[in-house]
Amino acid sequence: MRAIIAGTDIVKAFGLGEERTKALAGVDVAIGAGEFVAVMGPSGSGKSTLLFALSGLDTVTSGSVRFDGVELSELNEKQLADTRRTKMGFVFQQPTMLKNLNLLDNIILPAAQDRRKTDALVAEARALMEKTGIAGLEARAVTEVSGGQLQRAGICRALMNKPPVLFADEPTGALDSKSAEEILNLLVEINRDGTAILLVTHDAKVAARADRVLFTKDGRLVSDLPLGFSDGADLAAREEKVFARMADVGL
């Protein structure tokens, strides 16, 4: 499988002198094109830092991150912003939306070059809203939709311009179990359509849907659990494997 992301010996240190801590202490990782990879680990073990490093949302202290064949540290700010806009999508626990824009414009604008809202972008956003089950809410204020609907809008926003990679940090963490399940099913479907997903989660049920689960501890990758393709029939067995590995690594 071609690697869409390849990280080599990534170190990320915060602070100076005595206070200096390594959030990432030498990580080697490769994410295949179209692969669905979950990341699990204790709080503070470097999961979010890893996502930020692999997406260029933050710089690394040393090591290499190649995204789609390009060394991220060699890009200038504009090139990096363009790469993010066209090749990466981001979903966090709760989407940050602009309160003075309606849902449709919130979905479109980050994807729009020079903030130009074209007919093609509007059509793309409407199609995504349809796919994610929030068609009809285009003109709604962001304060007038439910948490689950807002997260769907966040996913639409992340999928504009059809990025080859979706980064998700606890995307279901703030949702009730039913909305969480629906969002998870949506992510699985998005992955089936060809988008690679790198997803941080504390939930074994969520991780069990991935092709592979990485485990972090003290800024290092300590385990790599391949689960392979799931047709949805063997979820309980996959979850068991995740729980067993969690126990092995002391999570």
Ligand X SMILES: Nc1ncnc2c1ncn2[C@@H]1O[C@H](COP(=O)(O)OP(=O)(O)OP(=O)(O)O)[C@@H](O)[C@H]1O
Q: Which residues bind ligand X (CB under 6 A)?
A: 14-15, 21, 23, 41, 43-49
Name which of 41 and 148 has its Cβ closer to Mg ion: 41
Strands across the sheet containing 36-40: 88-91, 165-169, 196-200, 36-40, 212-217, 220-226
**Of residues 178-207, those binding Mg ion (CB under 5 A):** none
Minimal distance in Å, beta carbon 108 to ligand X? 29
Quote the strand ranges of 2-111, DSSP E: 3-14, 21-32, 36-40, 62-67, 70-71, 88-91
Please tell me whether residue 216 binds Mg ion under the rule CB under 5 A.
Answer: no
- Please name the residues in contact with 67: beta carbons below 8 A apart, sequence gap of 6 or more: 4, 5, 54, 55, 56, 83, 87, 88, 165
Give 49 or 106: the residue with its C-beta nearer to ligand X. Answer: 49
Cβ-based nearer residue to ligand X, 19 or 119: 19
CB of 53 to ligand X, least distance (A): 9
How many of the chain's residues bind Mg ion (CB under 5 A)?
1
- Name the residue nearer to ligand X (CB basis): 34 or 154: 154
14 binds, among Mg ion, ligand X, none (CB under 5 to 8 A by kind): ligand X
Pairing label, strands 3-14, 88-91: unpaired
Give me the least distance between CB of 246 and Mg ion, in Å please: 17
In the bound complex, which residue of the shown chain has the CB atom lying closest to Mg ion? 48
**CA-only gyration radius of the chain, Å:** 18
The SS3 of residue 251 is: coil
- Count of residues making up the chain: 251
Which residue of 6, 12, 48, 203 would you call a contact of Mg ion, by CB under 5 A? 48
Strand-strand pairing, 21-32 and 3-14: antiparallel
Report, in Å, the least distance between residue 15 CB and ligand X: 6
- In the complex, the smallest distance separating the C-beta of residue 14 from ligand X, rounded to whole angstroms, is 3
145 torsion bin: left (phi>0), alpha (psi -120 to 50), beta (else): beta
Is residue 159 within 8 A of residue 166, CB to CB? The reply is yes
Q: Give the nearer residue to ligand X in terms of CB position, either 65 or 137.
A: 65
Please report, as ranges, the residues that interact with Mg ion according to CB under 5 A: 48
